[in-house]
A and B are shown apart, each in its own frame.
Chain A
Amino acid sequence: MTVSIGVGVGDAVDVEKAVQAAVEQARAQLGGATAQAAYITATVDYEASRVHTAFREALAGVPLHGVTTSLGVLTAAGVRNEGHGAVAVMLVGGAPGTAFVAASTEADGRRAGEAAARELVREAGGRMPRMILFNASPGAEESMLEGIASVCPDVPCQGGSAADHAIAGQWSVFTHEGPVPTGVSLLGLFGEVRVGTALCTPYTPTGTMARATAAEGRTLLTLDGQPAAQVLGRWMEGAIDDQVRSGGNILAQTALRPIAVRRGVSQRDHYVTVHPAHVHADRGSVDVFARIEPRDEVCLMTGTAEGLVNEVAHLIDLALAQGNLTTRDVKGAALIFCAGCAGALGPRVDEGLRTFSRLLPGVPLLGLCTFGEQGYIPGLGNVHQDLSLSLTLFANGRP
C-alpha cells in the first residue's frame, strides 16, 4: 500500500487566500493521489471558524482534523509567521481506507477518548488503526489517552495539544464538523502504512527531587509535605522569588529547568517532563501542564537552548529507528514542538527545524507548536508530557 503526503502553508492576510494557497501546495505534492484526510492547523491570528470553513470549501469531502498552533507553523525552512499568522495543511493521500478521522466533545476526558476511538474504529469498518494522530484541548489528555487505550490497546498515539499565543484559552480543536474549544480529534492511519514515531526531550535530571504529597489534577499542592511553590522556589535559586511571594506566570523561568516525574521502564527510566506554569501565592500551589499524582517522585531537570536545537536530529534518528525506516523511505513528517520550548529558543528554533532539510531533504513537513505533547513510549504506552518534541514519519508499506 502506498501513502502520499502533501503539505502546504499559507500566510495571506485574507484567510480564504491563505487556505487556498496551502491547499494548492499540498495537492501538488500528492502526485495525483486522492486525499483521504487532512491534518489542518492555524495560528489564532485567524478566526478558527473561518479557517475551518475555508478548508471545508477548499477540500470538499475530505475529512478534517487538527488544532490551532502557537507562535507559527513550523516548516523545514523555519517558522512561518510573517505578520498576520499562518495556516497549514497536511493531506494524507492513498487508497480508500488509508485514513479516517473521529472526534468527541464529551466533558469527561476518558469518555471523550473512548467515544472518539470507537467512532474511528467504526469508520474503518471495525479495523484497528496502525497509529493515531492525537490532538486535543489542554487539560485532560492523560484521561483521553486512557480512554483511547481501552478501545485501541497498544496503538501508538502521537500528537499535541491545542495552543494560542497568550495561554488564554483562545485555542481550538478542529473536528470535521467544526472548531471546538474543548474536545479531542483523532486521525487514524490504517492498513500497511509504515510509521516511525518518537517522543523526546533534551533535559537531564539534576539529582534534586522530592515526593509529591498532595496534588489536585494539574495543581501541585505540596512536595515532601511543604508548599510546592516554596520547594520549587528553592530549586529555582531565586528565579521565581517574586512569583512565590505574589503569584504569577513562571513558564519562561522554568522552560529550561522544568520538573519531571520519573517512571521506571524495564531497565531504564523515562522522565515525564512537566512544565510549571503558574504560582498561587495564597495557597503555595503550582499549576502544571501535566498530571502529577501523590507519591510521584518529582525531579528537577535541566537543559540548554543548544540541547533543544540539537534534539531535533536525535528525534529524527529515534523515529527512523523505531519504524525501521531509512531516510529514503520517508514520505512525510508531522512534528509537534512544545510552544514553551519554541518560545524560549526564539529565532534559534529555525536552526533545529533546518535539521529536517539536512536529514530528510525534500520530505513534506507539517509542524505545530503545542501546549502539551503526546507519544508512545515502549513499556509505558501512550504518554502526555510537556516541553517535548513528538515526531511521526510516514512511509509506504513493504512491497
Chain B
Amino acid sequence: MANRISRITAYVEKRKLGFGVARLIMMSGVNVRSIGPNDPDPPDALRRLEQALPQLLSAQELSELQQLLSEA
C-alpha cells in the first residue's frame, strides 16, 4: 500500500495533470516527486500538503479524495 502522500499526489495528477502537481508542490513547499510510495510519510510534509489541498481541489474533489484515503 502506497503512503498517503503518494496517493494524494496520484489523485491530483489524475484530476489536474502535471500542472496540478506542480501547483501542489509550489503551494505546500513539499517536493512530492522526491517521496517514494514506500517511504514513510514525513509528518510535517503531510501536514503542509493537506493544508494546500483546499486551494487546488473543489469541495467535491476533496470529499472524493478523503473517501479514497479512508478506504485504503
Contact = CB atoms under 8 A, between A and B. Distances in A.
Interface of A: 11, 43, 45, 70-72, 79, 81-86, 165-168, 170, 249, 251-252, 339, 343, 346-347
B22 A72 contact: yes
Interface residues of B, number: 17
Contacts of A168: 29, 31
A45 B33 contact: yes
Contacts of A43: 18, 22
With most chain A CB atoms within 10 A of its CB, the pick from B22, B23, B27, B33 is B22
Nearest to B30: A166
A165 B31 contact: yes
B22 A165 contact: yes
B31 A166 contact: yes
B23 A343 contact: yes
12 contacts: A11-B18, A45-B18, A72-B22, A79-B19, A81-B22, A83-B13, A85-B18, A165-B26, A166-B30, A170-B31, A252-B27, A347-B19
Nearest to B24: A165
B18 A166 contact: no
Contact of B29 (A82, A166, A170, A347): A166
Q: Could you say which of A45, A165, A170, A252 has the most chain B C-beta atoms within 10 Å of its C-beta? A: A165
Contacts, number: 54
B69 interface: no
B57 to A, nearest CB: 10
Interface in B1-46: 13, 16-19, 21-23, 25-27, 29-31, 33
Contacts of A11: 18
A71 B31 contact: no
A71 B27 contact: no
Given A72-B18, A82-B17, A84-B18, A346 B23 contact: yes
A84 B17 CA distance: 9
Given A83-B21, A249-B29, A343-B27, 6 more contacts: A45-B33, A72-B19, A81-B19, A83-B18, A170-B31, A346-B56
Q: Which 6 A-B pairs have the closest CB atoms?
A: A81-B18, A165-B25, A83-B18, A71-B22, A81-B19, A165-B22
Contacts of A252: 27, 55
A71 B16 CA distance: 12
Q: Which of A86, A166, A343 has most chain B Cβ within 10 Å?
A: A166
